[in-house]
Structure 1
């Protein structure tokens, strides 16, 4: 399964995923506007502040989980995710 990290995330977090054999792609330069073009074949999307719009969710045909590395869900179109049966989770910091 491919994981796309569309924001800055610690190298330790990325390394931990890679050690588990996960196919990880880090693209911290992505924006809400460019994200739909980058999600082809992605199963899990990890964001911090990058907005996940309905356009991104519609473009991501294999997406099953969106993780917000932070508190809240205000950057994710929850209605679009729910309509597609995509799970959404957050991971607030300390």
Structure 2
């Protein structure tokens, strides 16, 4: 994963999502950046430019295996509910 300070641009940023990893760890709110259908950074990505911003406040992201994550990212970014 990219160090946030080095990340300047990505394909998609899901802004303000509630993140859960389904392990029982507490949920937290963060931005999630993706590049080439893979998560590239998680955190406060307010300064990161993206080809597409996906407002995600009030939505839950639950990254799973790499295959599922790529499919989910692709589907979510094309879904009008994210726009």
Same fold (TM > 0.5)? no
Which TM-score applies when normalising by structure 2?
Answer: 0.27
Higher strand share: 2
Considering Cα pairs closer than 8 Å and 6+ residues apart, tell me whether 1 or 2 has the greater RCO. Answer: 2
Which TM-score applies when normalising by structure 1?
Answer: 0.25
Higher helix share: 1
